[in-house]
Structure 1
Amino acid sequence: MDNEPLDLGTDKSLLLVDDDEAFLKRLARAMEKRGFEVETAGSVVAGRAIATGRPPAYAVVDLRLEDGNGLDVVETLRERRPDSRIVVLTGYGAIATAVAAVKIGATDYLSKPADADDIVNALLARGDALPPPPENPMSADRVRWEHIQRVYEMCDRNVSETARRLNMHRRTLQRILAKRSPK
């Protein structure tokens, strides 16, 4: 994918909305290398302002942002530019949020960590054609570990509360948390 030029059309504008600043910068650089004209936002407010003032041809929006829900940005963008291609990214993969994202106009939905090639494939996929599967998807063990870590953080690192919400024995959870993340 690195050597072949992408067919982005005449409007190469891309809005990236994510509150993880390091991820946002890395993704912006990667997308610029692929020919996009990138504009970034770190919040729902900033993302909606750009979507209203300069609606881009493409957008990648994180679902959960510090100041609200990324779907608000998707809605604003869909109202201002119905032909925009929008991919929703999230570390909290769930069927319900995927359905909600697509219903309000997202083109696709990817779980973090998605790499730039996966995102480009999703942005440029046309019609009912699914993008090719990722070259190196996360292992099932890694997906499980990521989910446990998210719930643990949401419970303010309270092991007992996390174990209760995951319907897991507290000692089992403690052993999992003590280990390194799987590959």
Structure 2
Amino acid sequence: MHRSAAAVGSISDIGVLVNDPCDTNGADRPQLLLVDDDETFCSVMSRALEKRGFQVKVAHTTAEALDGIQNDPPEYAVIDLKMPDQSGLMLVSTLKALDEHTRIVVLTGYASIATAVEAIKLGAVYYLSKPADTDDIVAAFHHESGDESASVNEKPLSVNRLEWEHIHRVLMEHRGNISATARALGMHRRTLQRKLSKRPVRT
């Protein structure tokens, strides 16, 4: 199924859908594919996303996800990169090949800049470190926070910008401890300090 850019709902569209009492069967709700092997996470997150106006389909393996997207790719997808059968990267690539307008956010539970960068190169719009809440995920579909006019075909974050934001996210998780952050990222302390001193422009 191929959609024009205008056919893919925006965050503002979703807000309207949440409060639409006439939509009882989900027919007009944007489809979202949630792929994660954590059944508890999927159960909680799918309910939360449905309250935000999405029609959610859940898959616990990449194989299960692939079976469900061939004839009907979703408008949105949330994909855990570390799956038990195949890497979530393969699913990102397949989804973008089926429909270039699909908005994909990837989740990673391990500090791997390289993997996150590869997901962005394949077409994901953003990545989040787990655990990520519903607000994080919905906002990530339009990574320019609050910019509802962001184009579906907007250029993703540059690799340098992505790395910088990931480093700062890990730094916050370690409460500003440079040494602990460097260990978590697998880099030398002085290398980390140098990267932190150079804020890349958004391109």
TM-score bracket, normalised by the shorter chain, equals 0.5 to 0.7
**Offset, 1:141:** 3.1
Q: Distance in 2 between matches of 1:73 and 1:117?
A: 23
Contact persistence 1:51–1:76 (CA under 8 A): no
Contact persistence 1:63–1:90 (CA under 8 A): yes
- Choose which of 88, 91, 106 in structure 2 pairs with 1:88: 106
The aligned counterpart of 2:57 is: 39
Q: Distance in 1 between matches of 2:114 and 2:156?
A: 22
Distance 1:129 1:96, change over 3 A: closer
**Offset, 1:54:** 1.6
What TM-score do the two structures reach when normalised by structure 2? 0.60
Contact persistence 1:21–1:42 (CA under 8 A): yes
**Offset, 1:142:** 7.9
* Alignment RMSD: 3.1
Say whether 1:101 aligns with 2:119. yes
Contact persistence 1:52–1:76 (CA under 8 A): no
The aligned counterpart of 2:47 is: 29
Contact persistence 2:92–2:123 (CA under 8 A): yes
Q: Distance in 2 between matches of 1:27 and 1:91?
A: 16
**Offset, 1:95:** 1.4
Q: Distance in 2 between matches of 1:6 and 1:28?
A: 20
Contact persistence 2:120–2:156 (CA under 8 A): no
Say whether 1:140 aligns with 2:173. yes
The aligned counterpart of 1:69 is: 87
> 3-state DSSP class of the match of 1:47?
helix
Q: Distance in 2 between matches of 1:92 and 1:106?
A: 17
Contact persistence 1:44–1:65 (CA under 8 A): yes
Distance 1:142 1:116, change over 3 A: farther
The aligned counterpart of 1:7 is: 13
Q: Deviations over 1:53-88 (max 9, x none)?
A: 320000000000111101111111111111000000
Give the number of equivalent residue pairs: 141
Give structure 1 stretches of 5+ with no counterpart. Answer: 149-164, 166-183
> 3-state DSSP class of the match of 2:13?
coil
Q: How does 1:97-176 map to 2 (within 5 A)?
A: 97-125=115-143, 126=150, 127=154, 139-141=172-174
Identity, in percent, stands at 45
> 3-state DSSP class of the match of 2:131?
coil
The aligned counterpart of 2:193 is: none
The structure showing larger relative contact order (alpha-carbon pairs under 8 Å, at least 6 residues apart) is: 2
Q: Distance in 1 between matches of 2:41 and 2:156?
A: 28
